[in-house]
Amino acid sequence: MNKHLPQLDGLRGLAILIVFAGHLLVFRFGLGLSALGPIPPTGVDLFFVLSGFLITRILLESRTHANYYGSFYIRRALRIWPLYFLVLAFLFGVANHRIPGLTFDEERIHWPVFALYVQNLFYKQATDMGPLYLAITWSLAVEEQFYGIWPVVVRKISTRGLTYLLFGTIALGPVARLIVPRFGVDPYINPLCRFDAMAMGGLLAIWAATGKLTRASVVRGSVIVFGLAIPLELLCHYLGLTHYLSKTIVAAVFAAVLALALHSGPLARALSNRALRWLGKVSYCVYLVHAMVAAVVVSLWPGNSVGMALFRMVLIGAATLTVAGLSWRLFEGPILAFKKYFPSRKVEGLETARTSEPLYVPQHESTHETPRLLTEQ
CB atoms within 10 A of CB 320: 24
Q: For residue 224, what pLDDT is reported?
A: 96
Q: pLDDT tens digits for 41-98?
A: 999 999 999 999 999 999 999 988 889 999 999 999 999 999 999 999 999 999 999 9
CA-nearest of 289, 299, 343 to 87 is: 289
Contact (Cβ atoms closer than 8 angstroms) between residue 322 and residue 363: no
Q: Which amino acid is present at 93?
A: G
The tens digit of pLDDT for each residue in 123-162 reads: 999 999 999 999 999 999 999 999 999 999 999 999 999 9
List, as own/partner pairs, every contact residues 104-107 make where C-beta atoms lie below 8 angstroms and the sequence separation is at least 24, other chains included.
Answer: 104/130, 104/131, 104/134, 105/130
Closest C-alpha among 288, 368, 372 to residue 333 = 372
* pTM reported for the whole predicted model: 0.92
- Rounded CA separation 175/257 (Å): 25
| Residue 2 CA to its chain's centroid (Å) | 21
User: What's the mean per-residue pLDDT of the chain?
Assistant: 91
Give the model's pLDDT for residue 3. Answer: 67
Question: Taking 60 as the threshold, does the pLDDT of residue 285 lie above it?
Answer: yes
DSSP letters for 162-212? HHHHHHHHHHHHHHHHHHGGGGT--TTT-GGGTHHHHHHHHHHHHHHHTT-
Spatial CB neighbours of 215, under 8 Å, sequence gap ≥ 6: 263, 264, 357
Out of 29-43, 108-122, 298-312, 356-370, least confident range: 356-370
Whether 319 has a pLDDT exceeding 80, the answer reads yes
